[in-house]
Amino acid sequence: MAAAPSPSVPACSDLPAAVSAFADAFVDFAVSGIFFPTFPSSSSPPPRPKTPTTFLPSLSRLVAIGDLHGDLPKSLSALRLAGLVPPSCTPDSPSASSSWAAGPTLAVQLGDILDRGGDELRLLYLLRRLSLSAESRGGAFLPILGNHEVMNVSGDFRFATPQGFQEFSAWAGWYRAGLAIKRRCGEHLDPQPRNPFLGVPKSFPGVKPEFWDGMRSRLAALRPDGPIARRFLADLPTVLVVGDSVFVHGGLLEANVEYGLERINAEVSEWIRGEGGDNARAPEYVRGRDAVVWLRRFSDGFDCDCKRLEGVLGMIPGAKRMVMGHTIQTVGINAVCSAQAVRVDVGLSRGCGNGLPEVLEINAGGTDVRVITTPPSEAWMYRKQEVEKAAAAVAEKSVEVKDGLALLVRESHGLKEVGVKA
């Protein structure tokens, strides 16, 4: 029988909140190298809204950044280019990289943080910490959801990379360690820590066994109500209107506006929080070819249906332009339809084009719009890397190269979504 703790030694019953906070900070730092701010109970910040924000007034400076796809160094290049983080920030200095340097700027990231790269979790942590830093300094940093976030919450990992699976495997190890720390307090913790790995398959037919742990970890983290999905994705909007600019990953059609932009944001958020159950399908308006995160009608090519776009924008009071990601623009950020359709996905990630970083800047309430491009000295570095990559590809031209999950599975064509047991 265990002896009762000495009155001079604090027990878990006295410190459950502190133990839980320590465990969370321990996991955060182990995974990302970032400490999140802690607040005394008397000065706790207001909780993040349960339903994502849909409409915001524009600040004096508005910035848009396209798809990031798991590439931390290139993402930091874009953040530096926009002046959102200090010029000296690097992937090796995560604390400096998450320090807001842009004052009263509102920055929107157009989704697709996940897939195609190996820095997905580090990016999610960095962007959330940057968002908190921006709030404390009079600015705002707001990512929105892309089709790859929706795919991952649905258990569709076709575009995940081996490095991405390894990153989630490492996260799972640290997360389990954090759970073990919390369980030392037993019944004194309220709420009790939930084990996200319960009900998740341990084997995946068709996938090489060495990747099973990565698959299981990714599924536990990103399924509806998974700890990463709930913390980093559930409160992100699918559509965001800032002043006269509409931000959406794929695009909007008339039916989307009629259904209600706030309603779309609320329903997608509820799905990610698991309110429909672990295996609930994604809401209709983020599934399918014409879904708001999949649409390419206004972002693919230069012969767009401008009249239809004008009609869609006319349904949103005050809207003058739709800013989209999703479709890689090999010519860089550009606009069509009298600048009513602005396309900002430059294929930045090394796993998806390795394009030169560019960002869109909107000043003076929408009257001054410009593109900030990579300086020539930095552009030379990227072009040199592309030449070296092409030379390596020629040297290995006899080897079949597969992307994403195709690298891991024997027959991937039938692999769509992975379910979990309730």
Residues taking part in catalysis: 148
What are the phi and psi torsion angles at 207 (to 5°)?
A: -100, 140
C-alpha to C-alpha distances, 358 to 87, 234, 352, 364, nearest whole angstrom = 16, 27, 15, 20
User: From the CB of residue 408, how many other CB atoms can be counted at a distance below 10 Å?
Assistant: 23
- Whole-number Å distance between alpha carbons of 207 and 374: 40
Residues 6+ apart with CB under 8 A from 181: 19, 22, 23, 26
Contact 268, 282 (CB under 8 A): yes
Look up tokens 């000043």; give the residue.
Answer: 363
Contact 161, 132 (CB under 8 A): no
Contact 115, 69 (CB under 8 A): yes
Helix (H, G, I), strand (E, B) or coil at 244: coil
- Whole-number Å distance between alpha carbons of 167 and 161: 10
